[in-house]
A = this chain, B = another copy of it.
Amino acid sequence: MANIFEVPQPGNDLVKKADQVRLASIKISQTENQNRIKALNFMADYLEKNSKEILEANNEDYISAEKKGTTKALLSRLKLSKEKLNSGIEGVRKVGDLADPVNQVQIKREISKGLIIERKTVPIGVLGVIFESRPDAVMQISSLAIRSGNGVILKGGSEANLTNTAIVKALQQGLGKSGLDENAICLLTSRKDSMSMLNLEKYINLIIPRGSNELVKFIQNNTRIPVLGHADGICHLFIDNEANLEMALSVALDSKIQYPAACNAIETLLIHKDIAPVFLERAIPLFNSKDVKLIGDKRSVELGIKYEASLEDWQTEYLDLILSIKIVDDLDEAIIHIQKYSSKHTDGIITENSNNANKFMNIVDSAGVFHNCSTRFADGFRYGFGAEVGISTQTLPPRGPVGLEGLVTYKYFLKGDGNIVDDFSNGKAIYTHKDIENI
Contact = CB atoms under 8 A, between A and B. Distances in A.
A117 B396 contact: no
A258 interface: yes
A421 interface: yes
Contacts of A115: 373, 377
A418 interface: yes
A259 B362 CA distance: 44
B258 A420 contact: yes
B373 A29 contact: no
Oligomer copy total? 2
A280 B128 CA distance: 44
B394 A226 contact: yes
A105 to B, nearest CB: 14
Nearest to A5: B2
B414 A369 contact: yes
B414 A371 contact: yes
Contacts of A414: 368-371, 373, 377-378
B254 A415 contact: no
A376 interface: yes
The SS class assigned to the A binding surface is mixed
Interface string A188-211: 000000000000000001100000
Given A384-B109, A411-B399, A420 B251 contact: yes
Nearest to A419: B373
A86 to B, nearest CB: 20
Interface in A108-166: 109, 111, 115, 117, 122, 124-125
Given A373-B418, A373-B419, A382-B111, A400 B411 contact: yes
A400 B374 contact: no
Interface in A1-60: 1-2, 4-5, 26, 29-30
A370 to B, nearest CB: 5
A149 B392 CA distance: 22
B26 A412 contact: no
B395 A124 contact: yes
A373 B409 contact: no
A207 to B, nearest CB: 12
A286 interface: no
Interface string A247-260: 10011011000110
B4 A421 contact: no
Contacts of A417: 247, 372-373
Contacts of A125: 365, 395
Interface string A398-439: 011100000001111111111111100100000101000000
A153 to B, nearest CB: 16
B258 A422 contact: yes
Contacts of A99: none
Contacts of A109: 383-384
A88 B246 CA distance: 58
Interface in A337-383: 357, 361-363, 365-374, 376-378, 382-383
B416 A363 contact: no
Contacts of A298: none
A299 interface: no
A212 interface: no
Contacts of A2: 4-5
A293 interface: no
A2 B418 CA distance: 45
Given A1-B224, A396-B226, A374 B421 contact: yes
Contacts of A111: 377, 382-384
Given A205-B395, A226-B396, A411 B368 contact: yes
Interface in A169-188: none
Contacts of A250: 418, 420
14 contacts: A30-B363, A115-B377, A117-B383, A226-B395, A247-B418, A254-B422, A368-B412, A370-B416, A373-B414, A376-B420, A377-B414, A377-B421, A378-B414, A397-B410
8 closest A-B pairs (Cβ-Cβ)?
A373-B416, A254-B420, A384-B433, A247-B418, A376-B421, A373-B419, A370-B414, A368-B412
